[in-house]
Structure 1
Amino acid sequence: MDILQIALLGVAGTLLAIQFKGGKTEYGIYICAGISLLIFFAVLDRIAAVVARLDEITAYIDLAPAYIEMLLKMLGITFVAEFSSALCRDAGYQTIAQQIEVFAKLAVLVLGLPVVFSLLELIGEFLS
């Protein structure tokens, strides 16, 4: 049911923004940004459910909490980057949107480097 509400909200916001496309285009951008923020906050509720499930998984297996925290940070980075770059792209600023995406990719890469190093150390221990 929630997906229907979000989909209807998105379609209604899009149709409303289209009405302003001919005259005051900035109002259409504001409407899109507002609808996007509403959907963004709805997604945050779902992320809380994912975090609760990840806590259950860590109770079953011996997984360092740092890895779960890193995974959640990566999820947050990608979600915020996708959201902000889509808003910039809708407003007509493709270059800024692309730079946000590049920065997010690099941030995720930097965040994941400790995992790569620990994996390399583990492989090194097996080989020696």
Structure 2
Amino acid sequence: MNIVGIAGVAVCAAVIAAMLRRYHQEYAVLLSIAAGVVILLEIFASVAPAMHQIQTLFSATGLTTDYILILLKTLGISFLAQFAADSCRDAGENALASKMELAGKISIVILSLPLFEKIAETAVNLIGG
């Protein structure tokens, strides 16, 4: 599926959800979440070749695979947190959506701590401390 197919799924789901929202709010939310999952799965399937190319680029630089792993995990966390927060907003739970975004940001910071440590270590070595 390409961007046209993804856009078609999104528009159709949005129209059907808008019609359902009048009579059955809970079904509209479920439809919205299901369409979001289908779209995310399609996006992840089409991202696989790009991940292979990123891995090839990192291999050519001689950097360890730890950096690419942190990058990919960070991207995954940000996509998942945004999807969950948007789903919460669709359900009318704005406070829960904000907390989900905060949890995603904190998870990314925690995941990035080894990178910050390595950068600080490099800076201290360059300064001569």
TM-score (structure 2 length as normaliser): 0.94
> Whole-Å Cα distance in 1 between the matches of residues 98 and 61 of structure 2?
38
The alignment covers a number of residue pairs equal to 128
* Higher RCO by CA contacts (8 Å cutoff, separation 6 or greater): 2
Counterparts of 1:32-71 in structure 2 under 5 Å? 32-71=32-71
User: 2:98 aligns to what?
Assistant: 98
Give the superposition deviation at 1:29: 0.8
> Whole-Å Cα distance in 1 between the matches of residues 118 and 55 of structure 2?
22
Structure 1: unaligned runs, 5 residues or longer: none
Structure 2: unaligned runs, 5 residues or longer: none
Cα deviation, 1:3-37, whole Å, max 9, x if unaligned, reads: 01100110010000111121111111111111111
> Whole-Å Cα distance in 2 between the matches of residues 117 and 59 of structure 1?
22
Q: Which runs of 4+ in 1 moved over 6 A?
A: none
- Aligned-residue RMSD, C-alpha: 1.1
Counterparts of 1:4-83 in structure 2 under 5 Å? 4-83=4-83
> Whole-Å Cα distance in 2 between the matches of residues 92 and 50 of structure 1?
35
